[in-house]
Amino acid sequence: MHHRPVLARAHNKVSQGVVVKAQNPPAWPLPVSVAPDALSGIQADFSQEWRRVVDAAGKGELTPLSDRRFGSAAWAGSPQHLLMAHLYLLSARALSRMVDAVDATEPLRERLRFSVMQWVDAMAPSNFLAFNPDAQQKLVESSGEVLRNGIDNLMRDLKRGRIQQSDETRFEVGVNVAVTPGGVVYENDLLQLIQYTPATSTVHARPLLIVPPCINKFYILDLQPENSFVRHAVEAGHTVFLVSWRNPLASDTDGIDQATWDDYIERGVLQAIAVVRDISAQDQINTLGFCVGGTMLGAALALAAARGEQPSASLTLLTTMLDFRETGILDVFVDENHAALRDQQLGAGGLMSALELANTFAFLRPNELVWNYVVGNYLKGETPPPFDLLYWNADSTNLPGPFFAWYFRNTYLENNLKVPGRVKTCGVPLDLTQLDMPAYLFGSREDHIVPWISAYATTALLRGQARFVLGAAGHVAGVINPPAKNKRSYWARDSDARLPGDPHAWLAGAQEHAGSWWPDWADWLSGHAGPKVKKKARLGNARYPVIEPAPGRYVRVRAV
């Protein structure tokens, strides 16, 4: 998340855009400079600290490091390697200070900061067998076996085009992930619609439709039973429907590679809403969007409102941006040149590859999602442990080019969705301020894809009563936080009658609660889901019978 946006190669990554970016950015690279007094100060501090570290090493007084890359006993027990690690971290801090002191605009400084981070992280001595005492020790202890295993792992990953982050042999979609019972009750060339089997004898009359991002597989919300958001909603007495987006392949010949933003809104989200209303015999349903799925859901409901329709009784948005003004680290890769390139490459057809998207997001946190596995898989010859979330993370999806090009320009680059009437969908101007249903808005405090202040910015667009909740952890871990594990925490206010315009003012007045935010959301949703009624004996209806069991065919298609 999935979400999010969206590009790749070290200099071709997406952001979740801001207000209209510079339309004619200056050529790259730009000359930059550091004020002489600032540079002198950095150099003096660096030299002084260098001498201190070297002197401490000479006296055998270097302290072990808490940085997990250098935290093992092998590093602590090797004075020369420990010295190398200390000097590396010292150099990294000096480079970071130099970037902060650059005389440049903040966007340029952010680009420099990101580029320097990539090089610094890549050059860590822990990433090289010749400089990593931990890996060397394992090589000797295994009589060279870890080297053979590491080469095997490297050749396997080169073949598949990505680094393995989890033991993928331990998971299978529909077998031990995405296993909540249900059936596919509708499909077209863009999606399958899943209806889940009720888990309670009575259910709320008004059903819930979940719209996940099309940039990832839906089962992040239905991993294993103990951490399935879908199962939690079903067990709370809701009739749950969920969109499973198709994963287009280069071998497809039905024109899916030409699908547009309009297609995904009209024949995707709005069609799913229509089917759920038909099956449930309810004029209004509850809707939930996650990440990009939330952006699409907001646009779809604005289109419905412009047509005089109000199909959603309530709206839940999880780590979603409707206002792309503040977009975090991804913003450094968005400019007119990049958008024009994508328009030319993909605007008329083609696929934005899953591999490019996945590599982009991995290099947003390279130490955690790249170099950690380079060391483990290749230098130490290890197989990463099974982890359902990382298995899902590797199961990426392609995107139709026209959809991606439109989305990149109108959200990340130009931030058009938030301005009433600026952007049209299906020929109709959109106005998000016309959405006045009650809303539950969730942000993750450490989210690097959708900064929580951007998730909070939605409160200024929607006109209905909104409840904002802030979870601990990041983009995915903050959302997938089942109550049974009693982990992490969330912040909320007892009363959301008046939400301040300043997100930090909101946080100052919020209370921290231990554990999962899921029960808070379930309590809120029950107030908008209508009375309890006897569950139906069968899924679907006469017009929309079950096509196949959940999780369906579409989610099983792998891109890489």
**Domain residue ranges of the chain, discontinuous segments joined by +:** 36-141, 182-331+398-549
Please tell me the predicted confidence (pLDDT) of residue 2: 38
**Residue 267's CB: how many other CB atoms inside 10 A?**
17
Nearest to 401 by CA among 448, 357, 457: 357
- Residue 25: predicted pLDDT: 43
- Nearest one of 265, 313, 243 to 423, comparing CA atoms: 265
**pLDDT for the residue numbered 334:** 85
Single pTM value for the model: 0.90
> Cα(243)–Cα(555) distance, rounded to whole angstroms?
10
How far is residue 172 CA from its own chain's centroid?
22
Q: State the pLDDT at residue 95.
A: 95
Class of domain 182-331+398-549: alpha beta
- The amino acid occupying position 16 is Q
**DSSP, res 183:** E
Q: How would you class 396 by CB atoms within 10 Å of its CB: exposed for 0-12, middle for 13-18, buried for 19 or more?
A: buried
Distances (CA, A) of 190 to 119, 231, 259: 40, 24, 8
Cα 228 to Cα 234: distance, rounded to the nearest angstrom: 10
Catalytic residue positions?
291
For residues 512 and 490, the answer to whether their CB atoms sit within 8 Å is yes
Q: Where are the alpha helices (DSSP H) in 142-195?
A: 145-160
Alpha carbons 262 and 246: distance in angstroms, whole number: 16
Backbone phi, psi, residue 399, to 5°: -130, 140
> How high is the mean pLDDT of the chain?
92
User: Which phi-psi region, left, alpha or beta, contains residue 308 (left: φ > 0; alpha: ψ -120 to 50)?
Assistant: left
List, run by run, the mean pLDDT of 10-residue segments along the chain (560 residues): 34 32 43 84 96 96 95 96 97 95 87 92 96 96 96 93 91 97 98 98 98 96 97 98 97 96 98 98 98 98 98 98 89 86 94 89 88 96 94 95 96 96 97 97 96 96 96 95 94 84 95 97 97 96 98 94
**pLDDT tens per residue, range 107-138:** 888 889 999 999 999 999 999 999 999 999 99
pLDDT of amino acid 23: 38
Give the pLDDT score at 329: 81
The pLDDT of residue 362:
85
Cα–Cα dist 323/64, whole Å: 45
